[in-house]
Chains A and B, each alone.
Chain A
């Protein structure tokens, strides 16, 4: 029996689209939900904040889309393993908390040599992390090679209101375990 040409063509179109649909089912299936606001109670410990920080980095912050933790070789963005140790001495005059804060609020101020100036400010859209969420991220970063010390009450240059209003920056509260930061972080530094 001779199959009509239009039937053969229809079967080819169906088989081709069917094959591509099948390929689509073979790749990992992940439904990405829009980020939800993180509810933080004021009495969170530093360790609890670090857990929340890790969650934020995975979801709302999308940090781990670019950064890796514990990878070596030719990387596109800095690996974060042991960053807590490097953060204390990365930029002269900045302690770890101020350094992390600068990296998150003003990431192009200092760029790790060998990497592109590509990180966006995390307190602005499309991420729009709140000051408290950023403190949680800092708590997690401190835990990578060190101990989380920040609390939700910790003040740094960027959550004191001084950076936004242009008023003189108040002295950042010394983070427990961290060296006292300068009153105004030097421009042209900062990391991503």
Chain B
């Protein structure tokens, strides 16, 4: 037997045990943390000997016996501090939880499409997505447990308070977790073992329970941001109000949509890795298709996400204008410039992937000429969105500009311009989708021209309307201007729904001018999918930081003040470093998940001797009738 892997594993285990022991030892309070049990040597030498060593020991023992219990408010975490430790673990827990919640949603949808259409590719795709679930579920639970323990250890008083408010929700949470495990494992291991409808029912159950778990956990964290149902001193008055606080429902909706977008992007990245590693055209075709579906799900969920974000921001403002203004105009305002760069990159990458994808469809050339216009619109919107209100400048430059806002560019840094840019960006990406959908098809319905004209008219009208409202915002009072974002958002939503509805009927029974050649796409497209997944993950980390950091020096806003050494709000530079470290850790772990999932398809292990014997036609001495490998495959 090859002992090398075993020796390696033992070494790794020994190193980890050593590191763990050292870590735990450093967590234990040192002599300086507690009261000294005896005076330092120098002091003792100067002091007159009042009593003998036996008396001193007895006095110390008596003091220890009477020592009252003192509840710790905070405990320190070595090296990085408590806040960063909690931050990283919570973020990793949330990233895996988002993935575990998202995958069942589209596995269920894809499986349902497969059942309805009878196309076995969908069933295979749904099953492949689900393979990633079981390991991710374990990691989610592990990080969840780590987070709970770390909260109890590092922030005992705050944890105690939150437990006192939300204790009735914990038992249902645990029960739902059991139900989640039941549905998840029966859904995965029961693939092909039940009637399809029963299996779909399990998938539905998995989604319902998963959403329930998310909503309970959301009530805890949103309460910390917008507490309700408690007195000004923190006493619980109404648990229902504490759960149903201002930001609970917007966060539920925002997270559900964002989870789907995130999960789709990770599944697409998985497909991209498999595509790049594929050795046959058939494999490449399958993973190209899987990547396309994953990305389609991700971008479809991403398009309405800013609208859910508006709602969340509106509720934050409704709860506290100060909180809202701290977010958009105060300490965190520059964070939204970073966010604009991330989202701009996402839009650019998503469109680029679609444009590259047009190449795999025969007869796509008529549509490819529009790409340059779409690119121009996206870049323009990106530039407007990423323009800050105030420019970083030297004193002389600020004097020359007459303030920190640039005389011309400063006008692009306000919400009127940014809202307009993001809405046009969404419309443009939607148009890219629409063009991609049309490649290789010609509408044959009698009203095709009128249908096309109606779609174009809707698109143009909404684009002009959105731009008009953006410009109008510069000339009206603040109370009016704030409300203009609502018709902008609604008109874009309306355009997307109505144009899609027309398109569905327009291309019903359309004539095909070319086939989709899955797998015939440049390799760079797969790196784009991985880039999108990393950017999504980073964006989630950043927005998780702003949601939590917005409370600044409050654990529970306005109720429980942060008295710890970490009560300050760190710089954005520091925050982005922590986000990056978390994202890298996540991708390292998700790489492990991908690897474990891929073990399923590997051939069974065969000892080297058995392989040699099989090659030479000899029989194994232990298994004279068949080799170990054959036995493994038949078991």
List residues of chain A with CB under 8 Å of any chain B CB: 5, 8-9, 12-14, 16-18, 20-21, 23-25, 27-35, 62, 65-66, 74-77, 114-116, 118-120, 124-127
Q: Is B455 an interface residue (CB 8 A)?
A: no
Residue numbers in B under 8 Å from A14 (CB-CB): 584
Q: Which of the segments B42-50, B422-430, B549-557, B600-608 contacts the partner chain?
A: B549-557
Q: Other than A27-B338, A74-B475, give 7 A-B pairs with Cβ distance below 8 A.
A: A12-B530, A17-B580, A20-B338, A21-B577, A34-B561, A62-B326, A125-B232
Nearest residue (CB) in B for A65 is B330
CB neighbors of A among B154-194 (8 A) = none
Docked Cα-Cα span, A2 to B243, in Å, equals 56
Docked Cα-Cα span, A114 to B534, in Å, equals 44
Residue numbers in A under 8 Å from B553 (CB-CB): 34-35
Residue numbers in B under 8 Å from A30 (CB-CB): 331, 571-572
Asked if B342 and A20 sit within 8 Å, CB to CB, the answer is yes
Residue numbers in A under 8 Å from B530 (CB-CB): 9, 12-13
Residue numbers in A under 8 Å from B587 (CB-CB): 13
Nearest residue (CB) in B for A27 is B334
Name 28 interchain pairs, CB-CB below 8 A, sorted by A: A13-B587, A16-B534, A16-B535, A16-B538, A17-B583, A21-B576, A24-B575, A24-B577, A24-B579, A27-B335, A27-B572, A29-B572, A32-B331, A34-B568, A62-B330, A65-B330, A66-B321, A66-B322, A74-B475, A74-B476, A74-B477, A114-B479, A115-B478, A115-B479, A118-B321, A119-B321, A120-B321, A126-B558
Q: Is B573 an interface residue (CB 8 A)?
A: yes
Chain B CB within 10 Å, residue with most, of A8, A13, A14, A125: A13
A141: shortest Cβ distance to chain B, in Å? 18
Please, how many residues of chain B have a CB less than 8 angstroms from a CB on the other chain?
Answer: 58
Residue numbers in A under 8 Å from B570 (CB-CB): 31
Docked Cα-Cα span, A9 to B533, in Å, equals 12
Q: Given A13-B584, A62-B330, does the pair A75, B478 have CB atoms closer than 8 Å?
A: yes
Docked Cα-Cα span, A182 to B481, in Å, equals 37
Asked if A65 and B329 sit within 8 Å, CB to CB, the answer is yes
Residue numbers in B under 8 Å from A21 (CB-CB): 576-577, 579-580
How many A-B residue contacts, CB cutoff 8 Å? 134
Asked if A74 and B481 sit within 8 Å, CB to CB, the answer is yes
**SS of A interface (majority):** loop
Residue numbers in A under 8 Å from B317 (CB-CB): 118
Residue numbers in A under 8 Å from B482 (CB-CB): 76, 116
Q: Is B341 an interface residue (CB 8 A)?
A: yes
Q: Given A31-B569, A120-B320, does the pair A24, B576 have CB atoms closer than 8 Å?
A: yes
Chain A CB within 10 Å, residue with most, of B232, B337, B572: B572
Residue numbers in B under 8 Å from A34 (CB-CB): 552-553, 561-562, 567-568
**SS of B interface (majority):** helix
Q: Is B559 an interface residue (CB 8 A)?
A: yes
Asked if B326 and A65 sit within 8 Å, CB to CB, the answer is yes
Asked if B531 and A12 sit within 8 Å, CB to CB, the answer is yes
CB neighbors of A among B173-231 (8 A) = none
Residue numbers in B under 8 Å from A119 (CB-CB): 321
Residue numbers in B under 8 Å from A18 (CB-CB): 580
Nearest residue (CB) in B for A61 is B322
Residue numbers in A under 8 Å from B331 (CB-CB): 30, 32
Docked Cα-Cα span, A8 to B524, in Å, equals 11
Docked Cα-Cα span, A31 to B573, in Å, equals 10
Nearest residue (CB) in B for A111 is B479
Chain B CB within 10 Å, residue with most, of A32, A119, A124: A32
Residue numbers in B under 8 Å from A28 (CB-CB): 334, 392, 572
Residue numbers in A under 8 Å from B321 (CB-CB): 66, 116, 118-120
Q: Is B285 an interface residue (CB 8 A)?
A: no
Residue numbers in B under 8 Å from A120 (CB-CB): 320-322
Residue numbers in A under 8 Å from B325 (CB-CB): 62, 65-66
Residue numbers in B under 8 Å from A35 (CB-CB): 553
Docked Cα-Cα span, A29 to B335, in Å, equals 11
Docked Cα-Cα span, A126 to B55, in Å, equals 53
Docked Cα-Cα span, A129 to B629, in Å, equals 77
Contact of A17 among B534, B557, B567 (CB under 8 A): B534
Residue numbers in A under 8 Å from B572 (CB-CB): 24, 27-30
Docked Cα-Cα span, A118 to B584, in Å, equals 41
Docked Cα-Cα span, A31 to B567, in Å, equals 11
A118: shortest Cβ distance to chain B, in Å? 4
CB neighbors of A among B475-496 (8 A) = 475-479, 481-482
Residue numbers in B under 8 Å from A31 (CB-CB): 568-571
Q: Given A12-B530, A31-B568, A76-B478, does the pair A23, B338 have CB atoms closer than 8 Å?
A: yes
Asked if B535 and A77 sit within 8 Å, CB to CB, the answer is no
Q: Is B394 an interface residue (CB 8 A)?
A: no
Docked Cα-Cα span, A17 to B542, in Å, equals 12
Residue numbers in B under 8 Å from A66 (CB-CB): 321-322, 325, 329
Contact of B576 among A8, A20, A62 (CB under 8 A): A20
Docked Cα-Cα span, A161 to B478, in Å, equals 36
Asked if A124 and B232 sit within 8 Å, CB to CB, the answer is yes
Q: Is B527 an interface residue (CB 8 A)?
A: yes
Contact of A125 among B559, B568, B569, B580 (CB under 8 A): B559
Q: Is B412 an interface residue (CB 8 A)?
A: no
Nearest residue (CB) in A for B564 is A34
